[in-house]
Amino acid sequence: MEFLLDQLGYLGVLISAFIAGSVIPLSSEAIVAACLAKPGINLVLLLISATIGNVLGGMTCYWMGSKGKDEWVIKYAHVSPEKLARAQRMVSAHGAWFAILAWIPILGSAITVALGYMHANKWAVAFFMTIGKAIRYAVIIWGVDWIVKLF
């Protein structure tokens, strides 16, 4: 992880956020918060790189769902059949805008897989997912920065 952050900088943040947003469990929130300890960090570039990486990772879950292979979803996205069924019910009731909640740990993967499985409009999914993930990272970045400055 140090290599990604120290040697690759914002690209490392993007890569780690991509991994966290896809099928490998990783806390992108902790990585982003750790980056705030680095001197000279640009908060806007941190927000942009984390958001882009995490959305691309989320779209890989969408892609897996769009292939319609339950065994992929269960094996690689680590989404149980029960979670997938629950997410499909929610997605069918709410549509692509439901991707705004893709930032929620564990359930977010199920939501994006279900959106792909149900062939929701991928551009709308990417748009709403970007909004949700950007808000999440903005709250983390500026919240942690504000707390650090208090002490």
The yes-or-no verdict on residue 75 having pLDDT over 80 is no
The yes-or-no verdict on residue 34 having pLDDT over 80 is yes
Closest Cα to residue 103, out of 114, 115, 95, 111? Answer: 111
Helix spans in the chain (H): 2, 10-21, 28-35, 43-66, 70-76, 81-94, 107-117, 122-150
Closest Cα to residue 101, out of 78, 123, 133? Answer: 133
Amino acid code (one letter) for 96: A
* pTM score of the predicted model: 0.84
pLDDT value, residue 136: 95
Residues 6+ apart with CB under 8 A from 91: 98, 111, 114, 115, 118, 120
* pLDDT tens string 134-150: 999 999 999 998 988 88
Domain boundaries, given as residue ranges, for the chain: 2-150
